[in-house]
Amino acid sequence: MKTIDVTRLRAIVGERNIKTDPSDLYIYGSDSSVHHAMPWAIVKPENTSQVQEIMRYANEEIIPVIARGGGSGMCGQAVPIHGGIMLDMKGMNKILEINLADVYCRVEPGVVDDDLNLALKKYGVFYPPTPASSRIATIGGEIANNASGVRSVKYGATRDAVLGMKVVLANGDLVSLGARTRVEASGYQLHKLIVGSEGTLGIVVEATLSFVPIPEFRCMGVANFDSLKDAGEAIGSIMGSGSIPSMLELVDSVAIKAVNKTMDLGLKEVAAALIFEADGMVKEAVDYEIDKMKKICEKHNGQDIHASYDPKERAKIFMGRKKLFPALSKYDDNLASTSLADDMAVPYSKMAELAGKVHEIADRHNIVMTAYGHCGSGCMHTKILMDTKRKDQWAASKKAITEIYEYVRSVNGTTSAEHGIGLSKAESFKIEKSDSLNLLAGIKKAFDPNNILNPGKLAQAPEDWVTATNLRYSVNS
């Protein structure tokens, strides 16, 4: 471990913005993933100049720097496996501009997603990539992971909303990337390259984001299915029909049981449920989309189909999906919900097969897995519910994950749809990108010659995700 010049860092950010106490370091050693490793110091910059000075120091001394937002990442992106400086960006949390005429806003990276949308709401617009963790997720973290959410099927992911940004490079230089216009035709789209790079290429200190009008009308519906196959085929038919859902979500039997147990919602415990939504400025257009999706669900043996414009009824329909992630921890008091094979994407026509494959593989390896997610975007979320104290359960999970990703690649799917790679999915990512790893390494070298920006992530991540870094669980030998 290198010695950090705390005095120099304190001179940059002040006494209150640096922490080296072991208890603080321990807390900052994990995010929402299964991994844990201790940083050497926590530094909280308040402006761009401070970020530049920190990076100049770190680059001179070859000290790793890991940028962190709300800590809601699920794959270990913010876990400092090589130690170094944890750069807590939450102090840079100003909304700098809301420009209605030119349809963009400028924000600092520490702005929380929900806070941004609260500020935009008074103008009748919203920032749509919003993930489920929007109460704590920061814009900087969402950019790092190309985050998205339930309405990504219509409005796209973070990359689609980013027009430009200011980035501090590894050597402390400040660069402006992209533009404040809707189109930018020439040159390499470097701002798009930063999105999804997980803090390995630079530190985002300002982002220019587009927004869209809040729809006048929203209608949400639900359909129950006695088989995952029928539900999956309904998904493919809806997306292949030319429908434009603003939401299309799959919830399986494990998920339904979990939310019923946790919240006593009284949901019918079927093999799967589809939640669908349409929105727009003209009610007749929304009616058309909803009716079309209802008929497709009926054709594929959907039952108990109903839809509503009423906000209270919509909230009731969506409650089980909204609270699903925490509810899974209560599925079985002896099992913890872990994020491992978490957010793969496959073509629409393979959604049903993937959901069935998840359950078949889980049964064979004697673990519990759930299949749910933003199926309108082709994104399938899974969680592994297991006894984290048992080494054999980790070994079984490793085998299950390998088989699931083998299937995903076999149908031309991709390792991550929105949660990124971090540590947990490095092995599959490397296999998927095997013919372009040299290109990725070259880009990393060009941006960060000394490899100080979040080293050991993405293509550099160790493949053995169980033992490569400390787990935040105690596992019996």
Domain spans of the chain, in order of start: 6-90, 92-213, 217-421
161 or 471, which is more confident?
161
Q: Is 426 helix (H, G, I), strand (E, B) or coil?
A: helix
What fold is seen in the domain 92-213? Answer: 3.30.465
Task: Quick: pLDDT tens for 163-215.
Answer: 999 999 999 999 999 999 988 888 999 999 999 999 999 999 999 999 999 99
Instruction: List CB contacts of 420: < 8 A, sequence separation 6 or more.
Output: 73, 75, 77, 144, 145, 146, 196, 198
464 pLDDT exceeds 60? yes
Query: What's the confidence (pLDDT) of residue 463?
Result: 61
67 three-state secondary structure: strand
217-421 is classed CATH 3.10.310.30: no
Instruction: Look at residue 469 and tell me whether its pLDDT is greater than 60.
Output: no
> Which CATH number is correct for 6-90, 3.40.1280.10, 3.30.450.20, 3.30.43.10, 1.10.10.10?
3.30.43.10
Q: Quote the pLDDT of residue 159.
A: 96
Instruction: Order across the sheet with 162-168: list the strands.
Output: 95-99, 104-107, 203-210, 162-168, 174-178
pLDDT for res 177: 97
467 — pLDDT class (breaks 50, 70, 90): very low
For residue 466, give the DSSP letter: T
What's the angle, vertex CA 382, arms to CA 380 and CA 383, rounded to 5?
Answer: 160
Could you tell me the pLDDT band of residue 101, with boundaries at 50, 70 and 90? very high
Q: Could you read off the pLDDT of 129-142 as tens digits, one per residue? A: 988 889 999 999 99
Structure tokens at 222: 């639900």
Select the highest-mean-pLDDT range: 82-91, 253-262, 346-355. 82-91
Kindly state the tokens that stand for 336. 């913890």
Burial class (CB in 10 A: 0-12, 13-18, 19+), 474: exposed
Cα–Cα distance, 375 to 153 (Å, whole number): 8
- Mean predicted confidence (pLDDT) in 14-22: 96
pLDDT tens per residue across span 310-358 = 999 998 888 777 777 777 877 888 888 888 878 899 998 888 889 889 9
Task: Please tell me the distance from the alpha carbon of residue 252 to that of residue 273, in angstroms, as a whole number.
Answer: 6
Query: What does the alpha-carbon distance between residue 67 and residue 177 come to, in Å, rounded to a whole number?
Result: 19
What one-letter code names the amino acid at 276? F
411 conformational bin, left if phi > 0, alpha if psi -120 to 50, beta if neither = alpha
On the question of pLDDT at 127 being above 70, the answer is yes
Residue 468: its pLDDT value, please? 46
pLDDT value, residue 141:
97
Q: Which residue has the higher pLDDT, 470 or 475?
A: 475
The whole-angstrom separation of Cα 109 and Cα 127 is 15
The predicted pLDDT at position 465 comes to: 54
260-267: average pLDDT: 79
Q: Which of 93-97, 127-131, 424-428, 455-459 has the highest average model confidence (pLDDT)?
A: 93-97
User: Residue 218 has what pLDDT?
Assistant: 97
CB-based contact 380:358 (threshold 8 Å): yes
Q: What is the pLDDT of residue 466?
A: 53
